[in-house]
Structure 1
Amino acid sequence: MKLTKYSHACVTLEKDGKVLLVDPGTFAEDAAFEGVDAILVTHEHADHLDPDRVMGLDVPIWTNAGVASQLGDLGDRITVIAGGQSFEAAGFAISAYGNDHAIILPEWGVPCQNVGYLIEDAVYHPGDSFTQPDRQVHTNLVPISGPWFSMPPAVEYARAVNAQQTLGIHDALLSPIGVGMMPRFFNTDDRPYLTVTPGDSIEIN
């Protein structure tokens, strides 16, 4: 399975000739939307969901009720899911985790619904949360910046998930210097932290 990182929190996964697009937000390059067979969206914020480009693709979408309400009447193109459910999209086996976006400011409460996705029991995308999957994963996509982000909980989350490798996402607010600092916090001798430039790919074995 091939994972390609795009700007911020957007990634694609390719397997058996099928392409799964996850969190296609407004920062994502147009190339992320090419050849897509299905879409997953973790939550409704613009950096994870570009409604116009998503609705312009005639492909099925799996997401939570909050996102579905932002996408108008797509009929049977959209399937509403919640944490605890499992399903298949474009031939990919997927399990959903959690239902809440991380707290940004205490007085705001939970800003919206958020669901993380474990894809093929291998790649975990948490959206804007530190919700942990209930099993070992190969590649954990860990958020490394954002209004709700804090380094100590992020490191604790990455250590608890204990994936074979960790890849930084949610990084559009960071300078190259900030991105370059992340291995210092997340890297270990036997479980590496990967810095992947948008548009580049890695293989998930």
Structure 2
Amino acid sequence: MKIYKYLHSCLVFEKEGFKLLCDPGSFTFAEGQVTTETFGDVDAVIITHIHADHLDLPNLKKIVALSGAPVYTNSEVGVALKKEGLAFELMEEGVYDIGPFKIEAIPVVHEPLLDSPIPQMTGLLIDGRILHPADSMEDKLTTYNNLDLLILVTMAPFANELRIAAFGDKVKPKQILPVHDGFAKHFFVKSRFANYKNHFAKSDINFIEVTEPGESIEL
């Protein structure tokens, strides 16, 4: 499996020629480094929650028009999609087969926000080996053991580095792929990633420093 990161929390999981796009949000397209045409060949799309940095409706409509990919998401996002005339497959809890991927949908709670409602959010366990908690660091997620990869929020208004590092330490995966960094300058992202890498190395966790749009890793 290959995993491509396209700014902030936008990822593409590729397996056996099947491409699964997750959370193409507004930050992904904000500076023109990534366009909707980048995702014209995806086979399916997952949206974890309704926040604009994970769901960019105008660009999602373009991606679906280009690719014909079905969209999998929860009820709250589904309401927003219906208003835009976009069809969706409901995915809130349980195990789903999407192409060659086996996805366990996990209801998770978004980290607390300043003066904003908490959205419905869906975390993902992919093929039993990759945990994508979206914007959650719930204690229940630390019960997932022997993971090959944790996809981890690394910068956010709702968390500091101590909270983030403590969550990663509890999950203790083999590797960590950082996300949720699209609002920071490149030099700052690189410096914070170096800090995380040094921290997690003490627990023999490989923190993968992915900083360029479209850069990929292989599992």
Give, as a single letter, the amino acid of the residue that structure 1 aligns with 2:216.
S
Structure-2-length-normalised TM-score: 0.83
Indicate conservation of the 8 Å contact 2:72/2:89, yes or no. yes
Cα shift at 1:66: 1.0
**CA gap 1:115/1:21 in 2 versus in 1, 3 angstroms:** same
**CA gap 1:152/1:98 in 2 versus in 1, 3 angstroms:** farther
Between stretches 195-204 and 5-14, larger displacement belongs to 195-204
1:191 is aligned to 2:205: yes
Cα shift at 1:75: 8.6
CA distance in 1, matches of 2:183, 2:208: 18
Q: Which has the higher helix share?
A: 2
Aligned Cα root-mean-square deviation (Å):
2.1
CA distance in 1, matches of 2:172, 2:101: 23
Determine which of 173, 178, 187 is the counterpart of 1:177: 187
1:113 is aligned to 2:123: no
CA distance in 2, matches of 1:32, 1:80: 25
Indicate conservation of the 8 Å contact 1:55/1:71, yes or no. no
The percentage of counterpart residues that share the same residue type is 30
- The CA deviation string for residues 132-191 of structure 1, in whole angstroms up to 9 with x for no partner, is 163432111110112212222211111111111011100012223332223323431521
- The CA deviation string for residues 23-42 of structure 1, in whole angstroms up to 9 with x for no partner, is 11122222542310001111
Give, as a single letter, the amino acid of the residue that structure 2 aligns with 1:146.
A
**3-state DSSP class of the match of 1:202?**
strand
5+ residue gaps, structure 1, are none
Structure-1-length-normalised TM-score: 0.88
Indicate conservation of the 8 Å contact 1:4/1:13, yes or no. yes
Corresponding residue for residue 138 of structure 1: 148
CA distance in 2, matches of 1:76, 1:27: 21
Give, as a single letter, the amino acid of the residue that structure 1 aligns with 2:46.
L
Give, as a single letter, the amino acid of the residue that structure 2 aligns with 1:182.
F
- Equivalent runs, 1:23-62 vs 2, <5 Å: 23-28=23-28, 29-30=34-35, 32-56=38-62, 57=64, 58-62=68-72
**CA gap 1:70/1:125 in 2 versus in 1, 3 angstroms:** same
CA distance in 1, matches of 2:104, 2:217: 22
5+ residue gaps, structure 2, are 29-33
Q: How many aligned positions are there?
A: 201
Indicate conservation of the 8 Å contact 1:18/1:37, yes or no. yes
Corresponding residue for residue 102 of structure 2: 93
Runs of 4+ in 1 over 6 A off after TM superposition: 73-76
**3-state DSSP class of the match of 1:198?**
coil
1:162 is aligned to 2:162: no
